[in-house]
């Protein structure tokens, strides 16, 4: 069940359980980490640009992992990049989400046969949403981010595993 | 008057209480899981090497300031050179030359100032006060 949101001409109100209200706040301030591994990052920049303005949905890019909620694997991931991406993911504060953007980050894509390319971000990070495309259009990326919003809205925020037992964080 | 004062005090008390309440609420709600990796220095994913609090020779500061003089010169003179022939054909050669010359004059004044102050020397000589000075001499530092 989601929170009840009523809006009128002179403002509105939201009614719900604490969980739902917290989720409402979280899903509308979904800040993504400005980090791109390859050419999909160009589309990632476009997503934040004026034409497909992701800001209107509360998605603002952050240049520090400390402030980011989502890390977007934008582009081909090479083996040399894996340790860096893992460190960046570790440096993000909970709750954190991973979005795999484009064929390369999903499966290795065009460079699947290369000795230097990892065949998918899911091999080393817990990916929440996969966005197909080579590259995906900004609209597709926004849809992926909205799927994460949907996931957030269903989460029992106060009962999450990492709330009770911090050791469980990596097994989400 | 007393009522207004009491109102002010009341609002101050409520404000202080509200701040404490919000901080406490955040403390209760937010996840708290500092791990060794998470608290490590953010260097765009690279592993940090050494410590950030090391001594850096502050003489480099002056050198980098002086560098700006030459940097700006190059950045503005090179494009001028490219269009100089065109400017001559338009009959503006003297104007461009004079402008660049004045520009160089101003910048070289800065260089002369730095030179005269002795800031181009790696080991700066400090004006001696009296005869028994505790300041190190050039020879002292080299020996």
What does A97-142 look like in DSSP terms, one character per residue?
EEEEEHHHHHH-GGGTT-TTB-S-GGGTS---EEE-SSSPPHHHHH
Q: How confident is the model at residue B65 (pLDDT cuts 50, 70, 90)?
A: confident
ipTM above 0.95, yes or no: no
The pLDDT assigned to B19 comes to 96
Please check the confidence at residue B77 and state whether its pLDDT lies above 70.
yes
Tokens at A4, concatenated: 């009840």
What are A72's strand-pairing partners?
Answer: A99
Rounded-to-integer distance, Cα A172 and Cα A162, Å: 9
A91/B42 CB distance under 8 A = yes
The pLDDT assigned to A105 comes to 92
Residue B13 lies in a domain: no
Highest mean pLDDT among A64-68, B39-43, B46-50: A64-68
B29/A85 CB distance under 8 A = no
Q: Which of A86, A170, A21 is nearest to B33 (CA)?
A: A170
Q: Which is it for the CA torsion A93, A94, A95, A101, positive or negative? A: positive
Rounded-to-integer distance, Cα A75 and Cα A107, Å: 11
- Our count of domains for chain A comes to 1
Rounded-to-integer distance, Cα B124 and Cα B112, Å: 16
The pLDDT assigned to B11 comes to 95
A95 to chain B: nearest residue by CA?
Answer: B31
Please check the confidence at residue A97 and state whether its pLDDT lies above 70.
yes
The pLDDT assigned to A42 comes to 92
Highest mean pLDDT among A57-66, A162-171, B34-43: A57-66
Residue B96 lies in a domain: yes
Q: How far is CA A54 from the centre of its chain?
A: 13
Between A83, A88, A166, which is nearest B33 by CB?
A166
Residue A3 lies in a domain: no
The pLDDT assigned to B98 comes to 93
Mean pLDDT of B25-51: 84
Please check the confidence at residue A131 and state whether its pLDDT lies above 90.
yes
The Cα of A162 is separated from the nearest Cα of chain B by a number of Å equal to 7
**Range with lowest mean pLDDT among A142-151, B61-70, B103-112:** B61-70
Domain that includes residue A117, residue range:
31-171
Residue B93 lies in a domain: yes
Chain A CB contacts of B42 below 8 Å: 64-66, 91
CATH number for the domain spanning A69: value is 3.40.50.12280
- Cα separation values, B76 from B70, B99, B104, B107, B109, Å: 10, 11, 10, 12, 17
What is the pTM for the complete model shown?
0.68
Residue B104 lies in a domain: yes
The pLDDT assigned to B132 comes to 53
Q: Which H, E and C letters describe chain B, residue by residue?
A: CHHHHHHHHHHHHHHHHHHHHHHHHHHHHCCCCCCCCCCCCCCCCCCCCCCCCCCCCCHHHHHHHHHHHHHHHHHHHHHHHHCHHHHHHCCCHHHHHHHHHHHHHHHHHHHHHHHHHCCCCCCCCCCCCCCCCCCCCHHHHHC
Residue A19 lies in a domain: no
The pLDDT assigned to A6 comes to 82
Domain that includes residue B81, residue range:
59-123
- Our count of domains for chain B comes to 1
Residue B7 lies in a domain: no
Residue B89 lies in a domain: yes
Q: How confident is the model at residue A82 (pLDDT cuts 50, 70, 90)?
A: very high
Q: How confident is the model at residue B38 (pLDDT cuts 50, 70, 90)?
A: confident
Residue B84 lies in a domain: yes
Query: Which DSSP category does A69 fall into?
Result: S
Please check the confidence at residue B131 and state whether its pLDDT lies above 90.
no
């Amino acid at each position: 069940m989601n929170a009840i949101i009523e809006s009128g001409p002179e403002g509105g109100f939201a009614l719900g359980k604490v969980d739902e209200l917290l989720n409402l706040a979280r899903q509308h301030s979904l800040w993504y980490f400005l980090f791109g591994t390859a050419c999909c990052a160009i589309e990632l920049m476009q997503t934040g640009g004026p034409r497909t303005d992701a800001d209107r949905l509360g998605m603002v890019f952050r240049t520090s992992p400390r402030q980011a909620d989502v890390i977007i694997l934008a582009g081909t991931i090479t083996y040399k990049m894996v340790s860096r991406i893992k460190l960046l993911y570790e440096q993000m504060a909970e709750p954190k989400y991973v979005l795999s953007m484009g064929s390369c980050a999903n499966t290795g894509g065009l460079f699947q046969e290369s000795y230097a390319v990892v065949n998918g971000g899911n091999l080393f990070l817990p990916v929440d949403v996969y966005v197909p495309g080579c590259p995906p259009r900004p609209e597709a990326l926004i849809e992926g981010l909205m799927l994460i919003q949907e996931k957030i809205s269903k989460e029992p925020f106060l009962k999450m595993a990492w709330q009770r037992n911090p050791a469980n964080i990596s097994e989400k | 008057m007393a009522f207004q004062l009491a109102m002010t005090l009341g609002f101050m008390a409520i404000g202080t209480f509200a701040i404490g309440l919000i901080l406490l609420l955040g403390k209760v709600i937010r996840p708290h899981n500092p791990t060794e990796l998470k608290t490590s220095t953010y260097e765009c994913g690279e592993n940090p090497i050494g410590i950030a609090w090391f001594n850096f020779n502050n003489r480099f500061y002056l050198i980098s300031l002086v560098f700006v003089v030459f940097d700006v010169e190059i950045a503005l003179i090179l494009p001028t050179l490219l269009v100089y022939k065109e400017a001559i054909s338009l009959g503006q050669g003297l104007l461009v030359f004079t402008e660049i010359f004045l520009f160089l004059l101003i910048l070289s004044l800065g260089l002369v100032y730095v030179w005269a102050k002795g800031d181009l020397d790696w080991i700066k000589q400090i004006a001696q006060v009296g005869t028994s000075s505790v300041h190190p001499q050039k020879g002292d530092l080299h020996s």
